[in-house]
A and B are shown apart, each in its own frame.
Chain A
Amino acid sequence: MSKEVERLSDPGLPDHVHRKADHDPAAADKAERQVSILFMLSVVGTVGFIVAYVFVPSDKFIFVPVMGSTNAQQLFLGLGLAAATLFIGLGAVHWAKTLMPDTEEVAERHELRSEEVDRQDFLATFKARGASSGLPRRSLIKRTLGLALGLVSVSPLILLRDLGPLPKKSLEETSWKSGTRLVTDPGDRPIKASDLEIGAVAQVLPELTPGEERTLNNIAKDAVLLIRIRPEEFQLSPERLSWTHEGIIAFSKICTHMGCAVALYEQQTKHLLCPCHQSTFDVPQAAKVIFGPAARPLPQLEITVDTEGYLIARKPFNQPVGPSFWERS
């Protein structure tokens, strides 16, 4: 009758099953030997590691199947270190599993909560001590201390002010001015319309004035892509069409989404693709966004040629380049 009741009640810890090494000294000795072999393999690993460090030249490459051509020193250092550590671990675990006592033990849990008396005591003490400081009663002290602590914690923020300058108009400006020549990047050579064939793309930067240096900060805003297509393929307003020159159209290369370099141009579809999040811009429609998370077309740079026939910017960009920011109107 009571059998079923027992079945769903706790039968208690199952009986302990002994291992071979627990009662057979020969098995235990064998386990000991296995553990020491594992530890010795670690020693071999460390020796290999030292040998690789001292004797294998660092510019030697060897061919390993699957991995291909591999730096031998780095490979052997790694394998040596791996063996040196792994076998210590395997040895220790094998030791624990075969030779150390494997009887499960039971420990009681203590209740985390303190005894009721202690809690009461604590509260009473805390209140009494708190009151003895006078803080709860003396509101003047309370308020002024609050003010003082509040203010002093602001001072680190004040100190951080010099982390950087204020943005001012910096995000809205680039180095392009009216008349700036377009020069190749790399190479810094001015270019003519005839240098670009139909379907070609070129990356350009503004020409440096003497004494000026090009920094990454400039490039991050100035990089421009030139693309040449057949003029009749443009689908532009007359104004925007006048910003192009003989089928050459210039866009900021900095993605309006998060600022990656919009680097992939597909000749067939005339799409510019940003590899970061795949925003796709349609070149004939002034880089209108046709897919992806970017919200705005790439800003177009108004170009023309100077008297010598070199491509120049007719005006600076008419809007900030790159990703959006709060002050951008």
Chain B
Amino acid sequence: MKKSEKVVGTVANYVDERTGAAKWLKKNLNKVFPDHWSFMLGEIALYSFVILLLTGVFLTFWFDPSQREVLYNGSYEPLSGIKMSAAYASTLDISFDVRGGLLMRQIHHWAALLFMVAIVAHLMRVFFTGAFRKPREFNWILGIGLLTLGIVEGFLGYSLPDDLLSGTGIRIAEAIIQSIPVVGSYLAFFAFGGPFPGEAFIPRIFTVHVLLLPGIFLALITAHLMLVWYQKHTQYPGPGRTEKNVVGYPLMPVYMAKAGGFFFIVFGVTAFIAAVASINPIWLYGPYTPAQISAGSQPDWYMGWLDGLVRMAPPWESYIFGHTISWNILIPGLIVPGILFTAMALYPFIESWLTGDKREHHILDRPRNAPTRTAIGAMSLTFILVTLMTGGNDLLATHFSLTINQITWASRIGVFVLPPLAFVITKRLCLSLQRADRDLILHGRETGRLVRLPHGEFVEVHEPLSAEKAYTLASHEQIPALDLPLEDGAGVRRPKALRAKLRARMSAAVTEQIPKPTSEDLKEIEHH
């Protein structure tokens, strides 16, 4: 035995005698992970979170979370001698007087943007492939929780430096809190320790940003990953892949090397972007004061849709019995996002209620094979896109020489018209893709080669699909619509018949499909 092997053996023995870890590890080193680019989106989210932890801890060593007023005398000349909060001054110090500080700030901010992009892309992958179906509903809900917390965490981080831009964001957050009926003013005063802006808010959100939320993140991410581990990963349909197996590469060494390597790649790419592309140059905005504002102010992209909703809201307020209700804030700021996130969290349960499907699924859907789900996804994305664009309406206006008025009206109409349109178009598109798949299986692939038949007619040669390809296209199952009898055996209308009717209607819409070809269809064609 070589010496190094002996050392490993001794250590392993020592640990195992005290933990019994060998049995568990033996099993899990063989664990199989399916490989697909879309499975890396969640990984990117995880790695950018790790990057945020590392760079965030670095920032805490110099960042001073205080709204106490100081006179700036650091090395950034243009702000020399200006009064500002200690938070802002220390962010300037990190940017100009701490070696590598600006780099760390920029990596932190770029990683935050990447984190949110990756979460959203990952969520879309899970949604469009139906990976949220039983048994993975818990992970879907955990994911929605992580997305929500990510938005909050990002907003709080963005608010910490107390520059003119982020202070304006805080001002808006305060107005949203203040608008809540009955308790709004109280909540705002509790959150800010008195009237806006006070001196309490930044120290408080600092604790939330660096301690409370990261702790919750860690717990939720751990639960999320443990479930993935335990339930095993889903896989795309294909030859040899069934609901009862997973096909892929073993944890050790291939998956370890790829995943570990990928972490370094994500880090490297983020560091490169942070090295060459400036982000949030807070020294250009100046310190926060409530009486000033920087024109063209924009939140980070993951808040942009909210901003867009607020911008397109009509100016509605009600005044009743000496009280004010600000619909112009409540609807876009709380009600619509609340409905959106609740609907998103409940989606797996709604779908299975409509399909009546309560079985486990480990083979992913190709999006076209779930036309209604795909259409719902496209509809939601269109909604978010319209609101996101409205969030940048001032930029759009200057770029395309339109008036804000035109853009706002276009978005007010667009937000109602475009999403349903996207729904209809996407559903049609999915169904025609299904038809194309059907033709491919039945008639094979067009080769572009023409041959002349004995009686002079030209026909194109079709090449039959390989067995693997045909199986991939046709292995999904098509769930029939729910059959909900409105009358019982004796011909008497059942109670709740109306509800059943509605459910049956929706079920029919959800399960609408082009019948996939069967071996019988193929046989028949070949006999012609």
Contacts and interface: CB of A to CB of B under 8 A. Distances in A.
A107 B522 contact: no
A106 B262 contact: no
Contact of A278 (B232, B240, B404): B404
Contact of B292 (A104, A106, A263): A263
A261 B263 contact: no
A243 interface: no
Interface string A80-113: 0111111111111101100011101111110010
9 contacts: A78-B106, A81-B271, A92-B261, A96-B257, A104-B249, A107-B232, A112-B135, A112-B231, A217-B197
B345 interface: no
A220 B185 contact: no
Given A10-B471, A104-B249, A217-B198, A258 B102 contact: no
A73 B294 CA distance: 29
B328 A294 contact: yes
A87 B265 CA distance: 7
A260 interface: yes
Nearest to B526: A4
A134 interface: no
A285 to B, nearest CB: 15
Contact of A10 (B135, B176, B191, B242): B242
Interface string A253-287: 11001111101100000000001111100000000
A24 interface: no
Contact of A261 (B290, B319, B465): B290
Interface string B245-271: 111111001100110111111111101
Interface of B: 30-32, 75, 96-97, 99-100, 102-103, 106-107, 135, 168, 171-172, 174-176, 178-186, 188-198, 200, 231-232, 239-240, 242-250, 253-254, 257-258, 260-269, 271-272, 274-276, 288-297, 307, 310-317, 319, 322-326, 328-329, 332, 360, 362, 393-394, 404-405, 408, 441, 464-465, 467-468, 470-471, 474-475, 517-519, 522-523, 526
B100 A74 contact: yes
Nearest to A278: B404
Contacts of B248: 104-105
A78 B244 contact: no
Contact of A160 (B32, B190, B294, B311): B190
Given A89-B268, A258-B172, A217 B195 contact: yes
Contacts of A77: 99-100, 103, 275
B261 A325 contact: no
Nearest to A329: B322
Given A53-B100, A160-B190, A292-B315, A276 B246 contact: no
Contacts of B97: 58
Given A14-B239, A83-B268, A164-B193, A107 B32 contact: yes
A63 interface: no
A8 B289 contact: no
Contacts of B178: 171, 323-325
A21 interface: no
A13 B264 contact: no
Contact of A7 (B30, B262, B292, B522): B522
A295 B326 contact: yes
Interface residues of A, number: 93
A170 B200 CA distance: 17
B328 A257 contact: yes
Nearest to B269: A86
A275 B295 contact: yes
A8 B475 CA distance: 7
Contacts of A203: 291
Given A81-B275, A293-B314, A324-B329, 9 more contacts: A4-B523, A10-B239, A12-B239, A100-B253, A102-B254, A109-B245, A165-B189, A261-B293, A329-B323
Contacts of B172: 258-260, 276
Contacts of B180: 326
A6 interface: yes
Contacts of B293: 260-261, 263, 275-276
Contacts of A53: 99-100
A93 B289 contact: no
B258 A92 contact: yes
Given A91-B261, A258-B329, A276-B293, A291 B405 contact: yes
A241 interface: no
Nearest to A64: B276
A71 interface: yes
Contacts of B168: 260, 276
A14 B171 contact: no
Given A10-B475, A77-B100, A323 B179 contact: yes
Contacts of A67: 276
Nearest to B319: A329
A90 B261 contact: yes
Most chain A beta-carbon neighbours within 10 Å: one of B254, B274, B319, B517: B254
A324 B231 CA distance: 50
A3 to B, nearest CB: 8
A253 B172 CA distance: 15
Contact of B471 (A11, A220, A276, A293): A11
A89 B263 contact: yes
Interface centre among B31, B244, B257 (most CB of A within 10 A): B257
Nearest to B290: A220
A152 B362 CA distance: 44
A145 B296 CA distance: 57
Closest 6 CB pairs between A and B? A78-B275, A86-B268, A92-B261, A89-B264, A13-B240, A89-B265
B185 A167 contact: yes
A66 B30 CA distance: 49
Nearest to A294: B315
B56 to A, nearest CB: 16
B324 A93 contact: no
A327 B362 CA distance: 54
B295 A89 contact: no
A93 B329 contact: no
B323 A109 contact: no
Nearest to A173: B195
Contacts of A328: 323-324
B452 to A, nearest CB: 28
B192 A164 contact: yes
A73 B135 contact: no
A216 B290 contact: yes
A258 B168 CA distance: 10
A326 B193 contact: no
Given A74-B275, A82-B272, A92 B260 contact: yes
B290 A219 contact: yes
A128 interface: no
Contact of B239 (A13, A92, A95, A263): A13
Contacts of A165: 189, 193-194
A75 interface: yes
A11 B475 CA distance: 11
